[in-house]
């Protein structure tokens, strides 16, 4: 209350901020007036002049300051150009359709443009013309020639907006590009080279991953930095997509999941559970009959634990008395602090499902059913205890102890894997529904985004869940894949020096934008007052009654030719409604994940008289619904929500689809007690009371503005929970993000280095002393081991006598060895062609990074999964994860260096050179009977030299202590003679690294 009064007196923070921008808007308009007298060329000349000036400023900070200074003038240039295009009725083509330019920026649009330039989120209602707003800051920021990006939700909008707004940019002398899914790298590079580039978040993200994680030369990279980006529909991208990272993956070498094997048993188990729950529910029904409400409530709570979507349960929840009995039982179980009774109850089932947290848990009975011989097959052994016992067993030698431990460890790993598979399958059967969370298409399971209803082809649930659902649906189970590169969309956007966003709905999530992305939200007022009438929610007992009422209301509007847009939360719901409408012979269009091709056109027609359009929540976002003739007089577009969404934002989006630019329009939401939101998070108790008080009849509804509040409270509760989940995901991802940055930076340094030899030497300088410390900086220095390592890594043929390691300090030894290694390396390289050596050196490092980084990603996945199992030990999984991830990363970096050392003398750009090098080695290093001794004539071999095995035998100190093979690894991929050389030279392989003579 106080807050409300304060707002009235001093105005909200948002209003104050916007008021401060008002003078800038005035100045833009003044400039615009002045520019009217300029010729086209004079107006256009400003672009080039600013570009020249800004190019001379190298400090980004200073550049930003200069941009802020020229903002009013630059925005005026854009507005003035728009005016000229409009006056000339400039015609051009957009997505092959004729188009005439008809827009000049409104004042609120100028305001929105300033907000975007400042790196904030501009909340502007649907139809306010965000596409045009973005032209202002994009033009201004592109003047730095560092590239300005606009991120759209789909490829179609990227192309449409680039071509549409392109008219304006081209008039002003800026180039504009557009990234599309099917473009080749060359084309992409051209698009990124433009002043302004439009594209979707996943295309931008994948290009980043390919550039930084896969390209091996500068020429292969397509992007050119992350300067300024505006994210359109920023809430959908930063909030809704926060859970699915972009992943580039390849097939893993081994598949450990065994879903097909477990599927039949799990199917039986699920069936048994269903039968059990049905039996219990019938028993409960009898108890209710007999008036034993308490027992009945307990029984039904059991059903809820075992099968939350049980039909009888759902039906009983409609009855206020029964509902209260069940809720009461639930409360009693959860308030019992010892949880013993709850535990006992769970044991009466085969497994339990927690719908809210998406988890599945086997009980003793369930475990026995799955593996009658060994129910412990699904319990993790207590490793710590077992290890301690092994350690204490004095009859075992140290080797035997190690052996036993590793056996136990292996059993534990297998067990964990099995538990994981079963849990995934149970979730697949009991929590994931076809046509809600996913659809099956062309023998594939395709995820449906629960917020947008859009299909997300190519994305997969992680952790084997996707495979479990594939097994359930009986489609081809894709081989377990291994992550080659991954990033969350959020972290991709964090790369930009300046980020801005626009959307119709950001306000409810403002705190999250601020906390996580440091993005503040400014709500920009509409150009004309909003004339939409939002009606109270209508609440029904059951879904069936609710849908009947929805159909009635649709019919009412349809009969008087008022267009209706019906929003649903799932594909399933929109299909159900469509069937009901068909039965009623009401013509309609369905927009859901399954038809996104014609989406934009259907949405455009949704404002014509009498049309009925059913749409999953955000299908067709970004396309504006214009009213047809006679519609405004008829009340405008009516939006009807068939369910309240978990997030208020999504509901606001749906409402915002009508009443654009001051048009008339109305909206209403329908809710039932059977909706997921109400079942899981509704103030069930209170609602039940209200229902009782009013004594609802079949088909009767509740409607009061106080009830809207109750629904909103439930939504806020879910929003908060989802926010915490997203935050958690990001906390975990932050760890990966830092590591990725280090690795990618190093990788790029290698790619860009003109003199990779220095990088190789850095590796030698760091890795050799580290190794020496391992052998010598310990209680009992291991000189033998050190010599062994040296001789298996470098062709130095060191003997105890020659090395004299005992006579020097660790540091002196390091210097000595570094000198020797570099000397040998110089000798090896001297036999090769200088340019080829450079490519090879880069290749050796990149190869080590890529191979080990991928292994590391795999291990990090496992770690992330593993720390949750440790949650039992009351440790915070995140802290555990961070600590271990850090250790693993330190190890990774050391391993990369060691691998480089290891491959230094095992790689060659050309076999002849390698043989020359071998020939130059002292004879005692070479063994006569080596499989491919260098004495064999080189020409007799196949022209894939680098794949060959060259045996170099060394006879250590003559005492026969060491005899080591030095195999040549295939350090360059196997390539055909006429293919481009993998070293990136652009020449054919046979004329470059593959040259044999």
Residue partners of 581: CB distance under 8 A and separation at least 6? 551, 554, 588, 612, 614
The half-sphere exposure of 378 on its side-chain side, counting CA atoms within 13 A, is 21
User: Per the structure block, which two tokens stand in for 806?
Assistant: 């005992």
| Ramachandran bin of 937, using left for φ above 0, alpha for ψ from -120 to 50, beta for the remaining angles | beta
Task: State the pairing for strand pair 438-441/444-447.
Answer: antiparallel
Mask of contacts with ligand ADP, 605-644, x by CB under 6 A? -------------------x--------------------
By CB under 6 A, what part of segment 204-233 binds ligand ADP?
A: none
- 245 touches ligand ADP by CB under 6 A: no
Q: Classify 640 as helix, strand or coil.
A: strand
- 95 touches ligand ADP by CB under 6 A: no
Cβ at position 632, least distance to ligand ADP in Å? 16
Cβ at position 147, least distance to ligand ADP in Å? 22
* CA-closest candidate to residue 421, choices 476, 350, 360, 354: 360
Chosen residue from 103, 377, 412, 580 binding ligand ADP by CB under 6 A: 103
Length of the chain: 997
Distance CA 843, CA 865 (A): 33
Distance CA 143, CA 858 (A): 42
Cβ at position 628, least distance to ligand ADP in Å? 14
Size of interface with ligand ADP, in residues (CB under 6 A)? 15
The half-sphere exposure of 18 on its side-chain side, counting CA atoms within 13 A, is 21
Q: Is-contact 303 309, C-beta < 8 A?
A: no
> Around Cβ 619, how many Cβ atoms within 10 Å?
26
Cβ at position 899, least distance to ligand ADP in Å? 51
Chosen residue from 115, 124, 711, 764 binding ligand ADP by CB under 6 A: 124
| Contacting range for ligand ADP; rule: CB under 6 A; set: 101-109, 137-145, 269-277, 851-859 | 101-109
Cβ at position 143, least distance to ligand ADP in Å? 22
- 604 touches ligand ADP by CB under 6 A: no
The half-sphere exposure of 271 on its side-chain side, counting CA atoms within 13 A, is 6
Cβ-based nearer residue to ligand ADP, 454 or 621: 621
- 526 touches ligand ADP by CB under 6 A: no
Chosen residue from 129, 306, 641, 665 binding ligand ADP by CB under 6 A: 129
| Contacting range for ligand ADP; rule: CB under 6 A; set: 123-131, 182-190, 390-398, 698-706 | 123-131
Cβ-based nearer residue to ligand ADP, 308 or 504: 504
Cβ-based nearer residue to ligand ADP, 126 or 197: 126
- 908 touches ligand ADP by CB under 6 A: no
- 557 touches ligand ADP by CB under 6 A: no
Distance CA 744, CA 753 (A): 14
Cβ-based nearer residue to ligand ADP, 131 or 672: 131
Residue partners of 425: CB distance under 8 A and separation at least 6? 259, 262, 263, 266, 468, 471, 472
Task: State the pairing for strand pair 196-200/176-178.
Answer: parallel
Cβ-based nearer residue to ligand ADP, 523 or 913: 523
Cβ-based nearer residue to ligand ADP, 111 or 246: 111
Q: Is-contact 521 115, C-beta < 8 A?
A: no
Task: State the pairing for strand pair 97-100/91-94.
Answer: antiparallel
| Ramachandran bin of 927, using left for φ above 0, alpha for ψ from -120 to 50, beta for the remaining angles | beta
Cβ-based nearer residue to ligand ADP, 229 or 439: 229
| Contacting range for ligand ADP; rule: CB under 6 A; set: 129-137, 535-543, 677-685, 854-862 | 129-137
Cβ-based nearer residue to ligand ADP, 129 or 297: 129
Query: 620-623 long-range CB contacts below 8 Å, 24 or more apart?
Result: 620/591, 621/153, 621/233, 621/236, 621/452, 621/653, 622/152, 622/153, 622/154, 622/157, 622/232, 622/233, 623/599
Cβ at position 569, least distance to ligand ADP in Å? 22
Cβ at position 141, least distance to ligand ADP in Å? 19
Q: Classify 98 as helix, strand or coil.
A: strand
Distance CA 639, CA 658 (A): 7
Cβ-based nearer residue to ligand ADP, 108 or 269: 108
> Around Cβ 800, how many Cβ atoms within 10 Å?
15
Query: 339-343 long-range CB contacts below 8 Å, 24 or more apart?
Result: none
Cβ-based nearer residue to ligand ADP, 103 or 446: 103
Cβ at position 250, least distance to ligand ADP in Å? 38
- 160 touches ligand ADP by CB under 6 A: no
Element (H, E) at 211: helix 201-213
| Contacting range for ligand ADP; rule: CB under 6 A; set: 26-34, 60-68, 97-105, 370-378 | 97-105
Q: Is-contact 124 524, C-beta < 8 A?
A: yes
User: Which residue of this chain has its Cβ atom nearest to ligand ADP in the complex?
Assistant: 129
Cβ at position 713, least distance to ligand ADP in Å? 30
Task: State the pairing for strand pair 196-200/246-251.
Answer: unpaired
* CA-closest candidate to residue 165, choices 92, 262, 227, 254: 92
Q: Exposed e or buried b for every residue in 479-505, given b needs 16+ CB within 10 A?
A: ebbbbbbbbbbbbbbbbbebbbbbbbb
Cα distances from 813 to residues 86, 767, 807, 822, 989, in angstroms, run: 78, 13, 9, 14, 41
Mask of contacts with ligand ADP, 790-829, x by CB under 6 A? ----------------------------------------
Cβ-based nearer residue to ligand ADP, 659 or 743: 659
Question: Given the structure tokens 């907000």, which residue do they identify?
Answer: 115
Cβ at position 150, least distance to ligand ADP in Å? 12
Cβ-based nearer residue to ligand ADP, 126 or 615: 126
Q: Classify 930 as helix, strand or coil.
A: coil
Question: Given the structure tokens 């319990």, which residue do they identify?
Answer: 379
| Contacting range for ligand ADP; rule: CB under 6 A; set: 120-128, 245-253, 340-348, 518-526 | 120-128
- 126 touches ligand ADP by CB under 6 A: yes
Cβ-based nearer residue to ligand ADP, 165 or 484: 165
| Contacting range for ligand ADP; rule: CB under 6 A; set: 122-130, 565-573, 819-827, 853-861 | 122-130
- 128 touches ligand ADP by CB under 6 A: yes
Chosen residue from 25, 81, 115, 132 binding ligand ADP by CB under 6 A: 132
Chosen residue from 84, 117, 130, 263 binding ligand ADP by CB under 6 A: 130
Cβ at position 459, least distance to ligand ADP in Å? 25
- 420 touches ligand ADP by CB under 6 A: no
Cβ at position 638, least distance to ligand ADP in Å? 18
Cβ-based nearer residue to ligand ADP, 157 or 893: 157
* CA-closest candidate to residue 945, choices 907, 917, 987, 902: 907
E strand spans, 322-404: 351-354, 359-362
Q: Is-contact 664 636, C-beta < 8 A?
A: yes
- 127 touches ligand ADP by CB under 6 A: yes
- 104 touches ligand ADP by CB under 6 A: yes
Cβ-based nearer residue to ligand ADP, 134 or 362: 134
Cβ at position 663, least distance to ligand ADP in Å? 11
| Contacting range for ligand ADP; rule: CB under 6 A; set: 103-111, 145-153, 548-556, 968-976 | 103-111
Cβ at position 119, least distance to ligand ADP in Å? 20
Residues found near ligand ADP in the complex (CB under 6 A): 102-106, 109, 124, 126-132, 624
């Amino acid at each position: 209350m106080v807050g409300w009064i304060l707002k009235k007196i001093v105005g909200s923070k948002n209003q104050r901020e916007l008021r401060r921008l008002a003078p800038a808007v005035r100045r833009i308009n003044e400039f615009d007036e002045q520019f009217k007298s300029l010729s086209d060329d004079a107006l256009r000349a400003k672009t080039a002049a600013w570009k020249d000036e800004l190019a001379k400023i190298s400090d980004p900070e200073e550049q930003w300051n200069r941009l802020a200074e020229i903002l009013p003038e630059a925005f005026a240039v854009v507005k003035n150009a728009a005016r000229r295009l409009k006056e000339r009725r400039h015609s051009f083509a957009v997505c092959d359709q004729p188009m005439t330019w008809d827009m000049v920026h409104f004042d609120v649009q100028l305001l929105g443009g300033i907000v975007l330039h400042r790196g904030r989120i501009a909340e502007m209602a649907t139809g306010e013309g965000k596409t045009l707003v973005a032209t202002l800051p994009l033009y201004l920021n592109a003047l730095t020639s560092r590239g300005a990006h606009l991120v759209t939700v789909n490829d179609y909008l990227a192309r449409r907006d680039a071509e549409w707004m392109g008219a304006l940019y081209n008039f002003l002398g800026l180039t504009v590009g557009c990234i599309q899914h099917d473009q080749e790298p060359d084309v992409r590079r051209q698009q990124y080279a433009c002043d302004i580039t439009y594209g979707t978040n996943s295309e931008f993200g994948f290009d980043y991953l390919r550039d930084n994680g896969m390209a091996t030369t500068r020429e292969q990279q397509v992007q050119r930095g992350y300067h300024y980006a505006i994210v359109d529909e920023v809430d959908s991208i930063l909030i809704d997509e926060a859970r699915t990272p972009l992943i580039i993956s390849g097939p893993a070498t081994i598949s450990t999941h065994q879903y097909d094997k477990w599927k039949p048993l799990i199917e039986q188990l699920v069936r048994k559970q269903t039968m059990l729950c049905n039996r219990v529910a019938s028993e409960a029904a009898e108890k209710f009959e007999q008036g034993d409400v308490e027992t009945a409530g307990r029984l039904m709570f059991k059903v809820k634990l075992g099968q939350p979507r049980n039909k009888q349960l759902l039906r009983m929840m409609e009855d206020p008395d029964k509902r209260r009995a069940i809720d009461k039982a639930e409360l009693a179980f959860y308030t019992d602090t010892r949880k013993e009774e709850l535990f006992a109850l769970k044991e009466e089932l085969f497994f339990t499902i927690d719908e809210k947290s998406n988890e599945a848990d086997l009980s003793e009975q369930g475990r026995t059913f799955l593996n009658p011989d060994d129910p412990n097959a699904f319990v993790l052994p207590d490793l710590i205890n077992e290890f301690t016992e092994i350690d204490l067993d004095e009859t075992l030698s140290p080797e035997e102890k190690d052996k036993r431990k590793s056996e136990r460890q292996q059993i534990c790993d297998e067990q964990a894997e099995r538990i994981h598979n079963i849990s995934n399958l149970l979730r697949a059967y009991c929590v994931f529904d076809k046509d809600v969370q996913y659809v099956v298409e062309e023998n594939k399971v395709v995820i449906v985004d629960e917020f947008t209803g859009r299909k997300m082809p190519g994305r997969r649930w992680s952790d084997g869940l996707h495979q479990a659902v594939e097994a359930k649906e009986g489609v081809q189970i894709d081989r377990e894949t291994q992550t080659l590169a991954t990033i969350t969309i959020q972290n991709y956007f964090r790369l930009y020096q300046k980020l801005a966003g626009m959307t119709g709905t950001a306000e409810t999530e403002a705190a999250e934008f601020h906390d996580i992305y440091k993005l503040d939200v400014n709500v920009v007022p509409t150009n004309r007052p909003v004339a939409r009438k939002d009606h109270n929610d209508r609440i029904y007992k059951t879904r069936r009654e609710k849908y009947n009422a929805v159909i009635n209301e649709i019919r009412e509007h349809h009969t008087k030719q008022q267009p209706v847009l019906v929003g649903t939360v799932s594909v399933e719901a929109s299909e159900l409604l469509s069937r009901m409408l068909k039965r009623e012979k009401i013509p309609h269009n369905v927009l859901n994940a399954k038809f996104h091709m014609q989406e934009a056109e259907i949405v455009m027609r949704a404002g014509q008289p009498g049309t009925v359009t059913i749409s999953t929540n955000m299908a067709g976002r970004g396309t504006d619904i214009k009213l047809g003739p006679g519609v405004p007089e008829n009340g405008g577009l009516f939006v009807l929500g068939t369910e309240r969404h978990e997030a208020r934002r999504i509901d606001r989006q749906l409402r915002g689809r009508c009443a654009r630019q001051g048009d008339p329009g109305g909206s209403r939401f329908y809710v039932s007690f059977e909706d997921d939101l109400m079942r899981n998070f509704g103030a069930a108790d209170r609602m039940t009371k209200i229902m009782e008080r009013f004594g609802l009849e079949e088909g009767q509804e509740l409607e009061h503005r106080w009830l809207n509040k109750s629904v909103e409270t439930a939504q806020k509760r879910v929003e908060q929970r989802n926010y915490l989940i997203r935050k958690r995901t990001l906390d975990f991802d932050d760890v990966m993000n830092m590591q990725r940055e280090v690795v990618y930076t190093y990788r790029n340094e290698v790619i860009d280095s003109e003199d990779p030899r220095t990088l190789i030497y850095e590796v030698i300088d760091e890795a050799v002393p580290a190794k020496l410390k391992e052998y010598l900086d310990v209680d009992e220095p291991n000189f033998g081991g050190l010599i062994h390592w040296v001789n298996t890594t470098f062709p130095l043929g060191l003997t105890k006598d020659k090395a004299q390691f005992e006579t020097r300090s660790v540091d002196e030894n390091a210097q000595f060895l570094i000198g020797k290694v570099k000397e040998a390396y110089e000798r090896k390289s001297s036999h090769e062609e200088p340019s080829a050596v450079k490519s090879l050196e880069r290749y050796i490092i990149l190869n080590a990074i890529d191979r080990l980084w991928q292994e590391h990603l795999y291990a990090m996945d496992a770690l992330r999964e593993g720390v949750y199992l440790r949650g039992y030990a009351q440790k915070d999984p995140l802290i555990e994860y961070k600590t271990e991830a850090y250790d693993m990363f330190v190890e990774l970096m050391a391993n990369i260096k060691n691998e480089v050392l290891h491959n230094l003398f095992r790689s060659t750009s050309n076999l002849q050179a390698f043989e020359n090098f071998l020939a130059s080695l002292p004879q005692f290093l070479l063994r006569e009977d080596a499989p491919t001794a260098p004495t064999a004539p080189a020409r007799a071999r196949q022209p894939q030299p680098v794949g060959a095995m060259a045996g170099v035998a060394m006879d250590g100190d003559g005492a026969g202590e060491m005899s080591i093979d030095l195999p040549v690894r295939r350090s360059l991929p196997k390539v055909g003679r006429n293919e481009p050389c993998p070293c990136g030279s652009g020449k054919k392989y046979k004329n470059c690294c593959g040259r044999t003579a």
